[in-house]
Structure 1
Amino acid sequence: MSIEQQLLTRSDHRCELCAATEQLAVHAVAPHHGEQAEHCVLLCQTCRQALDSPQDQHHWRCLNDSMWNIEPAVQVLAWRTLKKLSSEAWAQDLLDMMYLEPEVQEWAEAGLVDAEEDDSEVLLDSNGVRLATGDSVTIIKDLDVKGAGFTAKRGTVVKGINLNASLPGHIMGRVNGMQIQLVAAFLKKV
């Protein structure tokens, strides 16, 4: 039986992330290359196209169900996608609830490490610890937030930071329900 046939049977002819039934194809979960069905998932065209830059947050709400799938390859893709969306409160909540077996967690993180190594800038917190997307940090100094009319207080924990800020040396994170940019030098990794 081919890998595609095994996946069609396993998934009941549905996308293993969003349950769509049209335009399904085999997707190998990195770092594997699709030699075995356990290293692959069956995805619809929408999920395949959105995996690299998951911006349609409404579509990815399907991960609320698929993250509980018993297949490790599906769990890995769900975890990675939630990690990319972790600046959104709902995605961070799902990520906080998700449990992966140690070997599955290692597989999931292996794909993110490769993506992070492509980044040319390495951001360090106030103690010189490397920051990564999805980390939680504490603000070490009261910071006036320009244009928002409030002060980000010392000791505030910012969960699920995003390194893709438009300014060098800054991160994106939610404080008081607002997405703001913070200077990495005023943060301490939790």
Structure 2
Amino acid sequence: MAVTQEQLAQRSGNRCELCKAGNGLAVYSVPQSGGYPNADVLLCQTCRDQLESPAQMDSGHWQCLSDSMWSSEPAIQVLSWRILKRLSGETWAQDLFDMLYLDSELLAWAEAGVIPDAGELIIHRDSNGVQLQAGDNVVIVKDLDVKGSSLVAKRGTVVRGISLTDNPEHIEGRVEGQRIVILTKFVKKSS
């Protein structure tokens, strides 16, 4: 049974359930819940942004977990465990992580969605070193012959709505109606 934002606001006192901020609140569904009931929590924009972009995590923001990790809500316990695990290189975070106890069922849920370390994240960068995201628009900076085709992707061609691949040096996009793989060193992010 899904919990409504109003129910979460009442449960949390209309505050972020992790950092206690009172603005920009929205429902956040804890990933990899494995069908666990009540996997929704109320979080502020800052907490949601950092959970959705782990490479941008600000460890100072998460010192608030010293209070919220003791919540009786399983979803808050799981999120606290995941964040502290991700930040375990920080002494304070490791100390909190060592104190946090989860029963075997919650521990399995927490481990199913561990936030990757920055070194494990695949980051795509254009020819200028700017980070690329799925859906970005890029401009081709060199004429490119497309393998297996007579198509030549001309310099200056805008490729809209790129997709990222498992290889940080490759992106995918449509050029003249054909989906192709492009080396990131031959594109620059378009504004």
TM-score, length-scaled by structure 2: 0.55
Distance in 1 (alpha carbons) for counterparts of 2:39 and 2:86: 21
1:35 Cα shift? 9.7
Match of 2:75 in 1: 73
User: What is the RMSD computed on CA atoms of the aligned residues?
Assistant: 2.8
1:9 Cα shift? 1.0
Distance in 2 (alpha carbons) for counterparts of 1:79 and 1:60: 12
Amino acid at match of 2:101: Y
Match of 1:132 in 2: none
Q: Which runs of 5+ in 2 are unaligned?
A: 122-191
Distance in 2 (alpha carbons) for counterparts of 1:102 and 1:35: 13
Are 1:86 and 2:88 an aligned pair? yes
Q: Which runs of 5+ in 1 are unaligned?
A: 121-190
Amino acid at match of 1:64: S
Amino acid at match of 2:68: S
Contact 2:33 2:109 in 1 (8 A): no
Q: Percent identity?
A: 53
Match of 2:5 in 1: 4
Match of 1:40 in 2: 40
Distance in 2 (alpha carbons) for counterparts of 1:34 and 1:12: 26
Contact 2:86 2:116 in 1 (8 A): no
Contact 1:34 1:40 in 2 (8 A): no
Change over 3 Å in CA distance of 1:59–1:88 after alignment to 2: same
Distance in 2 (alpha carbons) for counterparts of 1:7 and 1:81: 21
Change over 3 Å in CA distance of 1:22–1:35 after alignment to 2: farther
Structure number, greater radius of gyration: 2
1:32 Cα shift? 3.7
Amino acid at match of 2:108: E
Distance in 1 (alpha carbons) for counterparts of 2:29 and 2:7: 14
1:93 Cα shift? 0.3
Distance in 2 (alpha carbons) for counterparts of 1:9 and 1:33: 25
Amino acid at match of 1:45: Q
Contact 1:16 1:43 in 2 (8 A): yes
Are 1:24 and 2:25 an aligned pair? yes
Distance in 2 (alpha carbons) for counterparts of 1:34 and 1:13: 26
Change over 3 Å in CA distance of 1:34–1:44 after alignment to 2: farther
Which 4+ residue blocks in structure 1 deviate beyond 4 angstroms?
33-36
Distance in 2 (alpha carbons) for counterparts of 1:80 and 1:33: 15
Contact 1:25 1:44 in 2 (8 A): yes
Change over 3 Å in CA distance of 1:34–1:16 after alignment to 2: farther
Q: Deviations over 1:115-162 (max 9, x none)?
A: 58xx59xxxxxxxxxxxxxxxxxxxxxxxxxxxxxxxxxxxxxxxxxx
Amino acid at match of 1:96: D
| 2:27 match: secondary structure | strand
Change over 3 Å in CA distance of 1:107–1:35 after alignment to 2: closer
Distance in 2 (alpha carbons) for counterparts of 1:115 and 1:68: 23
Name whichever of 82-91 and 3-12 sits farther off. 3-12
Number of aligned positions between the proteins: 118
Amino acid at match of 2:71: N
| 2:46 match: secondary structure | helix
1:55 Cα shift? 2.9
